[in-house]
Structure 1
Protein backbone atom coordinates (compact mmCIF):
# COMPACT_ATOMS: atom_id res chain seq x y z
CA UNK A 1 0.00 0.00 0.00
CA UNK A 2 1.48 3.29 -1.11
CA UNK A 3 -0.27 6.18 0.63
CA UNK A 4 -0.09 9.46 -1.27
CA UNK A 5 -0.52 11.54 1.87
CA UNK A 6 2.35 9.80 3.69
CA UNK A 7 4.71 9.95 0.71
CA UNK A 8 3.94 13.61 0.01
CA UNK A 9 3.55 15.06 3.50
CA UNK A 10 5.85 12.87 5.63
CA UNK A 11 8.61 11.59 3.36
CA UNK A 12 8.90 14.59 1.01
CA UNK A 13 7.43 17.25 3.33
CA UNK A 14 5.52 18.76 0.41
CA UNK A 15 2.38 20.74 1.02
CA UNK A 16 0.96 19.89 -2.39
CA UNK A 17 -1.23 21.85 -4.71
CA UNK A 18 1.43 23.08 -7.09
CA UNK A 19 2.55 21.81 -10.46
CA UNK A 20 6.19 21.70 -9.35
CA UNK A 21 5.85 18.96 -6.74
CA UNK A 22 8.08 15.92 -6.62
CA UNK A 23 5.37 13.65 -5.15
CA UNK A 24 3.66 12.49 -8.38
CA UNK A 25 6.89 11.23 -9.95
CA UNK A 26 8.17 9.90 -6.63
CA UNK A 27 5.00 7.87 -6.04
CA UNK A 28 5.09 6.55 -9.62
CA UNK A 29 8.72 5.47 -9.08
CA UNK A 30 7.74 3.70 -5.82
CA UNK A 31 4.92 1.89 -7.64
CA UNK A 32 7.20 0.83 -10.50
CA UNK A 33 9.86 -0.45 -8.08
CA UNK A 34 7.31 -2.49 -6.11
CA UNK A 35 5.70 -3.90 -9.27
CA UNK A 36 9.11 -4.73 -10.73
CA UNK A 37 9.87 -6.52 -7.46
CA UNK A 38 6.81 -8.73 -7.91
CA UNK A 39 4.49 -7.10 -5.38
CA UNK A 40 0.80 -6.33 -5.65
CA UNK A 41 0.46 -2.55 -5.28
CA UNK A 42 -2.39 -0.33 -4.11
CA UNK A 43 -1.96 3.43 -4.45
CA UNK A 44 -4.28 5.32 -2.14
CA UNK A 45 -4.95 9.01 -1.72
CA UNK A 46 -6.39 12.18 -3.12
CA UNK A 47 -4.64 12.01 -6.46
CA UNK A 48 -5.75 15.12 -8.32
CA UNK A 49 -5.81 14.41 -12.04
CA UNK A 50 -4.02 17.66 -12.86
CA UNK A 51 -0.96 16.62 -10.86
CA UNK A 52 -1.11 12.81 -10.84
CA UNK A 53 -3.14 11.92 -13.93
CA UNK A 54 -0.31 11.56 -16.44
CA UNK A 55 1.74 9.44 -14.03
CA UNK A 56 -1.19 7.19 -13.12
CA UNK A 57 -2.28 6.71 -16.73
CA UNK A 58 1.30 5.80 -17.67
CA UNK A 59 1.49 3.26 -14.83
CA UNK A 60 -1.78 1.67 -15.93
CA UNK A 61 -0.73 1.58 -19.59
CA UNK A 62 2.75 0.18 -18.91
CA UNK A 63 1.82 -2.55 -16.45
CA UNK A 64 1.54 -5.92 -18.21
CA UNK A 65 -0.57 -7.47 -15.46
CA UNK A 66 -4.08 -6.76 -14.28
CA UNK A 67 -4.89 -3.25 -13.13
CA UNK A 68 -7.91 -1.60 -11.56
CA UNK A 69 -8.83 2.00 -10.84
CA UNK A 70 -11.35 3.18 -8.24
CA UNK A 71 -12.72 6.63 -7.44
CA UNK A 72 -14.47 7.34 -4.13
CA UNK A 73 -17.27 9.66 -5.24
CA UNK A 74 -18.09 11.79 -2.19
CA UNK A 75 -19.61 15.24 -1.88
CA UNK A 76 -17.73 18.10 -0.26
CA UNK A 77 -19.88 17.90 2.88
CA UNK A 78 -19.13 14.19 3.24
CA UNK A 79 -15.43 14.87 2.66
CA UNK A 80 -15.41 17.35 5.57
CA UNK A 81 -17.37 14.98 7.82
CA UNK A 82 -14.93 12.11 7.14
CA UNK A 83 -11.91 14.38 7.60
CA UNK A 84 -13.11 15.47 11.02
CA UNK A 85 -13.48 11.80 12.06
CA UNK A 86 -9.94 10.81 10.99
CA UNK A 87 -7.51 9.75 13.68
CA UNK A 88 -4.79 11.90 12.15
CA UNK A 89 -6.69 14.77 10.58
CA UNK A 90 -4.61 17.75 9.55
CA UNK A 91 -5.52 21.08 11.18
CA UNK A 92 -7.48 22.72 8.37
CA UNK A 93 -11.00 24.00 8.26
CA UNK A 94 -13.73 23.48 5.69
CA UNK A 95 -12.95 26.79 3.95
CA UNK A 96 -9.40 25.65 3.19
CA UNK A 97 -10.59 22.19 2.24
CA UNK A 98 -13.07 23.69 -0.24
CA UNK A 99 -10.17 25.20 -2.21
CA UNK A 100 -8.67 21.69 -2.52
CA UNK A 101 -11.87 19.83 -3.35
CA UNK A 102 -12.57 18.81 -6.94
CA UNK A 103 -15.83 16.99 -7.57
CA UNK A 104 -15.68 13.95 -9.88
CA UNK A 105 -11.95 14.35 -10.58
CA UNK A 106 -11.92 11.13 -12.56
CA UNK A 107 -8.88 9.65 -14.28
CA UNK A 108 -11.00 8.75 -17.29
CA UNK A 109 -9.51 5.33 -17.94
CA UNK A 110 -11.47 2.30 -19.17
CA UNK A 111 -13.02 0.34 -16.33
CA UNK A 112 -12.66 3.09 -13.71
CA UNK A 113 -15.09 2.18 -10.93
CA UNK A 114 -17.00 4.84 -9.01
CA UNK A 115 -17.66 4.00 -5.38
CA UNK A 116 -20.64 5.95 -4.01
CA UNK A 117 -20.41 7.74 -0.68
CA UNK A 118 -23.29 5.72 0.78
CA UNK A 119 -21.45 2.40 0.36
CA UNK A 120 -20.33 1.03 3.73
CA UNK A 121 -16.70 0.19 4.45
CA UNK A 122 -17.10 -3.58 4.17
CA UNK A 123 -18.81 -3.29 0.79
CA UNK A 124 -16.10 -0.91 -0.46
CA UNK A 125 -13.38 -3.40 0.52
CA UNK A 126 -15.30 -6.30 -1.04
CA UNK A 127 -15.87 -4.34 -4.25
CA UNK A 128 -12.21 -3.41 -4.55
CA UNK A 129 -10.95 -6.91 -3.75
CA UNK A 130 -13.27 -8.66 -6.21
CA UNK A 131 -13.18 -6.10 -9.03
CA UNK A 132 -9.38 -5.86 -8.91
CA UNK A 133 -8.89 -9.61 -8.71
CA UNK A 134 -6.99 -9.35 -5.44
CA UNK A 135 -9.57 -11.55 -3.70
CA UNK A 136 -8.40 -14.51 -5.81
CA UNK A 137 -4.72 -13.52 -6.06
CA UNK A 138 -2.10 -15.28 -4.04
CA UNK A 139 -0.31 -13.00 -1.58
CA UNK A 140 2.71 -11.47 -3.22
CA UNK A 141 5.74 -11.51 -0.95
CA UNK A 142 8.81 -12.14 -3.10
CA UNK A 143 11.28 -11.60 -0.27
CA UNK A 144 11.92 -15.36 0.29
CA UNK A 145 13.08 -15.64 -3.32
CA UNK A 146 15.58 -12.80 -2.89
CA UNK A 147 16.58 -12.61 0.72
CA UNK A 148 18.81 -15.37 2.11
CA UNK A 149 17.47 -14.84 5.64
CA UNK A 150 13.83 -15.24 4.52
CA UNK A 151 14.69 -18.20 2.27
CA UNK A 152 16.30 -19.93 5.25
CA UNK A 153 13.21 -19.29 7.39
CA UNK A 154 10.96 -20.66 4.62
CA UNK A 155 13.01 -23.85 4.43
CA UNK A 156 12.76 -24.50 8.18
CA UNK A 157 9.04 -23.77 8.38
Structure 2
Protein backbone atom coordinates (compact mmCIF):
# COMPACT_ATOMS: atom_id res chain seq x y z
CA UNK A 1 0.00 0.00 0.00
CA UNK A 2 1.29 3.45 -0.97
CA UNK A 3 -0.16 6.28 1.07
CA UNK A 4 0.62 9.79 -0.24
CA UNK A 5 0.05 12.81 2.02
CA UNK A 6 0.54 16.17 0.34
CA UNK A 7 -0.08 19.79 1.25
CA UNK A 8 1.53 23.16 1.64
CA UNK A 9 4.25 24.00 4.14
CA UNK A 10 2.67 24.17 7.58
CA UNK A 11 -0.41 22.14 6.61
CA UNK A 12 0.38 19.32 9.06
CA UNK A 13 1.41 16.64 6.58
CA UNK A 14 4.67 15.64 8.31
CA UNK A 15 3.07 15.40 11.75
CA UNK A 16 0.15 13.46 10.27
CA UNK A 17 2.41 11.05 8.36
CA UNK A 18 4.59 10.42 11.40
CA UNK A 19 1.56 9.71 13.59
CA UNK A 20 0.00 7.39 10.99
CA UNK A 21 3.25 5.44 10.83
CA UNK A 22 3.56 5.36 14.63
CA UNK A 23 0.06 3.95 14.94
CA UNK A 24 0.64 1.37 12.23
CA UNK A 25 3.96 0.20 13.66
CA UNK A 26 6.68 -1.85 11.98
CA UNK A 27 6.18 -2.64 8.34
CA UNK A 28 5.47 0.91 7.17
CA UNK A 29 8.27 2.96 5.65
CA UNK A 30 8.06 6.73 5.98
CA UNK A 31 9.60 8.80 3.19
CA UNK A 32 9.69 12.53 3.88
CA UNK A 33 10.31 14.74 0.86
CA UNK A 34 12.09 17.43 2.88
CA UNK A 35 14.50 14.93 4.42
CA UNK A 36 15.35 13.39 1.06
CA UNK A 37 15.69 16.71 -0.72
CA UNK A 38 17.38 18.80 1.99
CA UNK A 39 19.37 16.27 4.02
CA UNK A 40 20.18 13.32 1.77
CA UNK A 41 20.58 15.21 -1.52
CA UNK A 42 21.16 18.78 -0.25
CA UNK A 43 19.09 19.88 -3.21
CA UNK A 44 17.20 23.14 -3.65
CA UNK A 45 13.62 22.82 -4.86
CA UNK A 46 12.63 23.18 -8.50
CA UNK A 47 14.58 23.29 -11.71
CA UNK A 48 15.06 20.74 -14.47
CA UNK A 49 18.24 19.38 -12.86
CA UNK A 50 16.56 18.18 -9.66
CA UNK A 51 17.19 14.58 -8.68
CA UNK A 52 14.68 14.30 -5.82
CA UNK A 53 11.55 13.21 -7.76
CA UNK A 54 13.22 10.19 -9.37
CA UNK A 55 15.20 9.42 -6.20
CA UNK A 56 11.98 9.40 -4.15
CA UNK A 57 10.23 7.20 -6.73
CA UNK A 58 13.11 4.72 -6.55
CA UNK A 59 12.89 4.64 -2.74
CA UNK A 60 9.11 4.13 -2.86
CA UNK A 61 9.38 1.29 -5.39
CA UNK A 62 12.18 -0.42 -3.45
CA UNK A 63 10.21 -0.34 -0.20
CA UNK A 64 6.94 -1.46 -1.81
CA UNK A 65 8.69 -4.27 -3.69
CA UNK A 66 10.21 -5.40 -0.35
CA UNK A 67 6.66 -5.71 1.07
CA UNK A 68 6.68 -2.51 3.10
CA UNK A 69 3.70 -0.21 3.14
CA UNK A 70 4.94 3.28 2.27
CA UNK A 71 3.82 6.63 3.61
CA UNK A 72 5.17 9.35 1.33
CA UNK A 73 4.71 12.91 2.51
CA UNK A 74 5.70 16.33 1.28
CA UNK A 75 4.62 19.43 -0.56
CA UNK A 76 5.33 17.41 -3.70
CA UNK A 77 4.19 20.20 -6.05
CA UNK A 78 2.29 18.77 -9.01
CA UNK A 79 4.44 20.69 -11.51
CA UNK A 80 7.63 19.09 -10.20
CA UNK A 81 6.43 15.71 -8.89
CA UNK A 82 3.17 14.95 -10.72
CA UNK A 83 4.75 13.09 -13.63
CA UNK A 84 6.68 10.94 -11.15
CA UNK A 85 3.87 10.32 -8.65
CA UNK A 86 1.01 9.48 -11.03
CA UNK A 87 2.65 6.30 -12.42
CA UNK A 88 3.50 5.12 -8.88
CA UNK A 89 -0.09 5.69 -7.76
CA UNK A 90 -1.38 3.81 -10.81
CA UNK A 91 1.08 0.93 -10.41
CA UNK A 92 0.57 0.12 -6.72
CA UNK A 93 -2.46 -0.03 -4.43
CA UNK A 94 -2.57 3.60 -3.29
CA UNK A 95 -4.43 6.26 -1.40
CA UNK A 96 -3.71 9.94 -1.96
CA UNK A 97 -4.58 12.79 0.41
CA UNK A 98 -4.23 16.54 0.08
CA UNK A 99 -4.35 18.64 3.28
CA UNK A 100 -6.24 21.71 2.11
CA UNK A 101 -5.19 24.44 4.53
CA UNK A 102 -5.45 28.20 3.89
CA UNK A 103 -2.31 30.29 3.71
CA UNK A 104 -3.10 32.16 6.95
CA UNK A 105 -3.62 28.87 8.79
CA UNK A 106 -0.34 27.41 7.44
CA UNK A 107 1.49 30.43 8.86
CA UNK A 108 -0.27 30.04 12.24
CA UNK A 109 0.58 26.33 12.36
CA UNK A 110 4.17 27.00 11.36
CA UNK A 111 4.57 29.56 14.17
CA UNK A 112 3.22 27.03 16.71
CA UNK A 113 5.72 24.33 15.74
CA UNK A 114 8.05 23.17 18.47
CA UNK A 115 11.00 23.85 16.16
CA UNK A 116 9.85 26.05 13.26
CA UNK A 117 12.16 26.29 10.28
CA UNK A 118 13.61 29.80 10.00
CA UNK A 119 11.42 31.23 7.23
CA UNK A 120 9.19 34.27 7.01
CA UNK A 121 5.53 34.32 6.11
CA UNK A 122 6.53 36.02 2.87
CA UNK A 123 8.85 33.11 1.99
CA UNK A 124 6.02 30.69 2.78
CA UNK A 125 3.72 32.69 0.50
CA UNK A 126 6.14 32.03 -2.37
CA UNK A 127 5.87 28.29 -1.74
CA UNK A 128 2.08 28.27 -1.31
CA UNK A 129 0.03 26.65 -4.07
CA UNK A 130 -3.73 26.64 -3.56
CA UNK A 131 -5.35 23.19 -4.01
CA UNK A 132 -2.41 21.72 -5.90
CA UNK A 133 -4.19 18.44 -6.58
CA UNK A 134 -2.67 15.58 -8.59
CA UNK A 135 -5.99 14.74 -10.20
CA UNK A 136 -5.64 10.99 -9.61
CA UNK A 137 -8.68 8.76 -9.08
CA UNK A 138 -9.78 8.67 -5.46
CA UNK A 139 -7.63 11.62 -4.32
CA UNK A 140 -9.15 12.92 -1.10
CA UNK A 141 -9.09 16.52 0.07
CA UNK A 142 -8.85 16.93 3.84
CA UNK A 143 -10.21 20.31 5.02
CA UNK A 144 -8.40 22.43 7.61
CA UNK A 145 -11.49 22.25 9.83
CA UNK A 146 -10.75 18.60 10.72
CA UNK A 147 -8.94 17.99 13.99
CA UNK A 148 -5.55 16.31 13.93
CA UNK A 149 -7.03 13.16 15.47
CA UNK A 150 -9.78 13.05 12.83
CA UNK A 151 -7.26 13.54 10.01
CA UNK A 152 -5.04 10.66 11.16
CA UNK A 153 -8.00 8.37 11.85
CA UNK A 154 -9.62 9.21 8.50
CA UNK A 155 -6.40 8.52 6.59
CA UNK A 156 -5.77 5.20 8.35
CA UNK A 157 -9.40 4.09 7.91
CA UNK A 158 -10.11 5.23 4.33
CA UNK A 159 -6.73 4.09 2.98
CA UNK A 160 -7.06 0.66 4.53
CA UNK A 161 -3.64 0.99 6.17
CA UNK A 162 -5.24 0.78 9.60
CA UNK A 163 -6.40 -2.77 8.74
CA UNK A 164 -3.47 -3.85 6.55
CA UNK A 165 -1.20 -6.61 7.79
CA UNK A 166 2.54 -6.12 7.89
CA UNK A 167 4.22 -8.24 5.24
CA UNK A 168 7.86 -7.29 5.81
CA UNK A 169 10.38 -9.53 7.54
CA UNK A 170 9.95 -7.30 10.58
CA UNK A 171 7.46 -8.04 12.18
CA UNK A 172 5.96 -10.84 10.06
CA UNK A 173 9.06 -13.03 9.67
CA UNK A 174 11.69 -11.48 11.93
CA UNK A 175 12.89 -13.89 14.68
CA UNK A 176 13.38 -11.00 17.10
CA UNK A 177 9.81 -9.78 16.68
CA UNK A 178 8.46 -13.34 16.85
CA UNK A 179 10.25 -13.80 20.17
CA UNK A 180 8.69 -10.60 21.53
CA UNK A 181 5.24 -11.67 20.35
CA UNK A 182 5.48 -15.19 21.84
CA UNK A 183 3.55 -15.69 25.06
CA UNK A 184 5.69 -15.81 28.19
CA UNK A 185 6.32 -19.36 29.41
CA UNK A 186 6.13 -18.93 33.14
CA UNK A 187 8.01 -16.70 35.52
CA UNK A 188 11.45 -15.46 34.61
CA UNK A 189 14.37 -16.57 36.80
Q: Please report the TM-score for the alignment, with normalisation by the length of structure 2.
A: 0.74
Alignment of 1:1-150 (within 5 A): 1-63=30-92, 66-143=93-170, 150=174
> Equivalents in 2 of 1:16, 1:88: separation in Å?
21
- The answer to whether the Cα contact below 8 Å between 1:115 and 1:124 also exists between their aligned partners in 2 is yes
- The answer to whether the Cα contact below 8 Å between 2:166 and 2:172 also exists between their aligned partners in 1 is no
* Structure (1/2) with the larger strand percentage: 2
> Equivalents in 2 of 1:77, 1:19: separation in Å?
30
Per the alignment, do residues 136 and 153 of structure 1 end up closer, same or farther by CA in structure 2, a change over 3 Å counting?
closer
> Equivalents in 1 of 2:100, 2:177: separation in Å?
44
- The answer to whether the Cα contact below 8 Å between 2:33 and 2:74 also exists between their aligned partners in 1 is yes
Alignment size in residue pairs:
152
> How far does residue 153 in structure 1 lie from its aligned partner after superposition?
6.2
Q: Please report the TM-score for the alignment, with normalisation by the length of structure 1.
A: 0.88
> Equivalents in 1 of 2:172, 2:142: separation in Å?
37
Unaligned ranges ≥5, structure 1: none
1:77-110 Cα distance to aligned partner (Å, 9 max, x none): 1111111222332211011111111000000011
- The answer to whether the Cα contact below 8 Å between 1:4 and 1:27 also exists between their aligned partners in 2 is yes
Unaligned ranges ≥5, structure 2: 1-29, 183-189
- The answer to whether the Cα contact below 8 Å between 1:39 and 1:142 also exists between their aligned partners in 2 is no
What SS does the corresponding residue of 1:16 show, helix, strand or coil? coil
> How far does residue 141 in structure 1 lie from its aligned partner after superposition?
2.9
